Every structure is written in C-alpha cells, then in structure tokens.
Structure 1
Amino acid sequence: MNAWAWSSIFHTRDTCFTEFMDYACALSMVMGLFVAAIVRVFYMKSKPLTLVLLFVPLFYFATHVRYLYSGVINYDYNMKVNVFFGVLGSLMWLGVSWYQWTLGRRYAWRMLAFTVLSGLALSLELFDFPPKLDVLDAHAAWHFSTAPLPLLFYRYVMDDLRHIGSRGMDKFALKLT
C-alpha cells in the first residue's frame, strides 16, 4: 500500500522527495517479494543460511535507498536494480509454486499466475509506447495491469500458510509459553 500511495503522490506532484519515495517504496515492494521467496524456499533448510541470504539483499536495499536519497537518481540504474531483484524473486517463486503444483497443491496456480502476469505487466514498463488518445501510455497501462495482482499473491500466501499449518510445519508460530 505504501508503494502505491507514494506512486500516486509522485505522479500528481513531481518533486525530488516524491520521486525518491516512489522509487524507494517501489523497490521495497520488489525486495519484499524477493525476501519472501528466500524465506519460503529456505525456512525449513537452515536458519543460518536463511539469515545470510536475507542479510545481503536487505543490506543492498538500504545502500540503494541511501543512493536514491542522495538526489542524483539514475533512472536506468534504478530500473535495472528493480528488474534484477524482480526476476530473481520471480524465478524463485516459479520454482516453488511449480514444485507445489507437481505435488498436487492446487492453490499453487495463483502464484504461477501472479508471477507470469507480473512479468507480462513488466513488459509494459520496459517496452514503452507513446500515449494513446493522449491519456494511456505504457506506464499508466502497467499501473492499471498490476492493480489486481496482489489478490492472487495474497490468496496464495493464505492457502500456503494453511497447508503449512495443517502439516505441523508452522516453524514461524509464536511460542507464548
């Protein structure tokens, strides 16, 4: 929600600060999906490995946000960072959800659809086209096409958590005793 809010603010009021917030929050959404993929893939394997794998991208995120805050924003570099972590996270999510699908976990189609549709939407951002009817350009079409995608992700996560809980694999459950 934070990324969408700052994107809306930036597109209505273009200042250095709103541009920074738009870019930083967009990356936080991409990195959030990437970090979630790391946790989902490695949480049952090794806690030390998971922590190391989380530290590197989180440190990079902090460093990149500091770079963005410097006020000298290189749009191409920022896009490459977002695409890099987005593609890496997508590949991980595709691997996890495909594996789940082959095990008969039918809810995995949601993550497969989310990932493929997100990639298709990204093509609108990468292969820019001029505005149609002076209103709809590639960036606006990208925003419009990504709006319903979080619903697929949310439903997948809820179903996956139900599956994990039903199997007694809920290592993230808080121990209140």
Structure 2
Amino acid sequence: MLQPILQFHGKWPFHRFAGMQEPCSVLFSFFNLLAHRDGLSKVRDRIPADYPLRKYYIAFGYIGMASWMFSMIFHTRDFDITEKLDYFAAGASVLYGLYYTPIRIFRLDEKRPPVKPTLLRLWTLVCVFLYAAHVSYLTFWHWDYVYNMAANVAAGVVQNILWSGFSYRTYQKLKKPWAAWPGMIVAWIILAMSLELLDFPPIGGMVDAHSLWHLGTVVPTIWWYNFLVRDAQQESAGERLKA
C-alpha cells in the first residue's frame, strides 16, 4: 500500500540531481536568468542611448538576473544564508518593479513641470527606506514567511494595477496591439502565481508547484522586455517627429 508523501518543515522531499536539492526550480530559475539577460541585450541594442528611461530598464535587467541567480543558488542548496539571499534578492526585484512603474507611467524622469524631479527624489527615498526596513525587519526582528509573502504580493498588486490602467489608456489612444501587452502580461503572471496555491507533492520527485511558477514567468519576462523596447521606440519616434 502506497503511503502519502509528507512535508517536513513545510518542504516536500525531492530527488536530487547533480547535487541540486530542487533541480527543476534551479533549471527554471536559470531560464528566467537567460530571459533577463536577453532582455537586457535588447534594451541596450534597440533603445536609443538618449532615451531617459533606458537606465531604469538596464537596472531592471541586472536586478532581475541577480534575483534569479540567487534563486538558483538557494534551490541548489537550502542553507540559512542562501535562503536569505534569495528572499532579499526577490524582494529587491519586486520593489524595483514598483519603483520604476510610476516613473514610466507618470514620467517622473522629466524636468517639467518642476515638481517632477522633486517627486522622483522623494519616491526614490521612499523605496530605499521600504527596502531597508524590509530587510532589517527580517534580519534583526523576525524571519516571518507570512509577512515576506504579503509584502511582495502587495508590491506586486500595486504595480499590476498601475500597468493594467496604463495599458488600457495607451491602447485606447494608439489602437496598437502592443499597447495592450502590459495588461495581458499581468493576467499571465496572476495565472502563473496561482500555481503556488496548488502545493502538490513533486511529480517524479522533481516537479512541484513552485518550480512550475518559476517556469510560468519565463515567457512573460521575454514579452515584457519586448514591450519596453516597443514603448521606448514609439516615444523616441514621436519625439523625433515633434523636432
């Protein structure tokens, strides 16, 4: 008679491969790292050097690669330090997404009106403070999994709402399919995230809901960089026509 697979301290048992504790999560994290590396290359090659938001997208690429690199390390070997690095890097990635979202949507990078540079500096300080407080709380006060998840979900929900609204307004204005991409990508991410709720024993001892969540973010990451490039090229072309 088959016995049910039990979790130990909230974790499923996995079959190791080449020394990796969760091989599929490592592999799918690597796919995400490659998606960010490819996206970073597109940003550098296809977005004009004088486009003001280019530096924010480049930073997004580096933070994304770092996040998935630490994810690979953590899922290869689950130690206290690798877990913390994974969580802090993931938090940085999510918070940076929240950081640059209003900068793009409300164009806080612009010099006019004069209030925008002030708002940008204030928003930067707020985000730096939030991340420092987040890391400090988890490090020096309490390593709280529920809080960490809630903080990341809250930051993700806010930027998803902003991008969905931006996508709707931009599509209504331009009537071009790529303008609707942010809303479609947000929907994809939400569906992929729902895989985390399944939490089933690993199929074949390797494929679990968490690894599938990692796999589910690869395509929207590639898609997202394509949107950033299209959006930047559209704006740059419009500026050239005005000139």
TM range (shorter): 0.7 to 0.9
Quote the offset at 1:146 in angstroms.
1.0
Cα separation, partners in 2 of 1:84 and 1:164, compared to 1, 3 Å: same
Find the counterpart in structure 2 of residue 166 from structure 1: 237
Quote the offset at 1:61 in angstroms.
1.0
Q: Distance in 2 between matches of 1:155 and 1:24?
A: 27
**Quick one: which of 43, 65, 75 aligns to 2:135?**
65
Q: Distance in 2 between matches of 1:50 and 1:120?
A: 32
Q: Distance in 2 between matches of 1:54 and 1:118?
A: 26
Contact kept, 8 Å, 1:24 with 1:68, in 2: the verdict is no
Instruction: Pick 1 or 2: higher relative contact order, CA cutoff 8 A, min separation 6.
Output: 2
Question: Which ranges of structure 2 fall in alignment gaps of 5 or more residues?
Answer: 1-64
**Quick one: which of 81, 89, 92 aligns to 2:151?**
81
Query: RMSD of the alignment, in Å?
Result: 2.0
Q: Deviations over 1:90-137 (max 9, x none)?
A: 111111111111112431232222211111111112443333343222
Quote the offset at 1:71 in angstroms.
8.2
**Quick one: which of 96, 105, 112 aligns to 1:41?**
105
Q: Distance in 2 between matches of 1:153 and 1:29?
A: 14
Find the counterpart in structure 2 of residue 55 from structure 1: 125
**SS state at 2:105 partner:** helix
**Quick one: which of 69, 74, 81 aligns to 1:5?**
69
Q: Percent identity?
A: 33
Quote the offset at 1:24 in angstroms.
0.8
Moved more, 36-45 or 84-93: 36-45
Quote the offset at 1:163 in angstroms.
1.3
User: What letter corresponds to residue 128 of structure 1 in structure 2?
Assistant: D
Question: Which ranges of structure 1 fall in alignment gaps of 5 or more residues?
Answer: 170-177
Q: Give the TM-score taking structure 1 as reference length.
A: 0.86
Find the counterpart in structure 1 of residue 203 from structure 2: 132
Q: Give the TM-score taking structure 2 as reference length.
A: 0.64
Contact kept, 8 Å, 1:38 with 1:54, in 2: the verdict is no
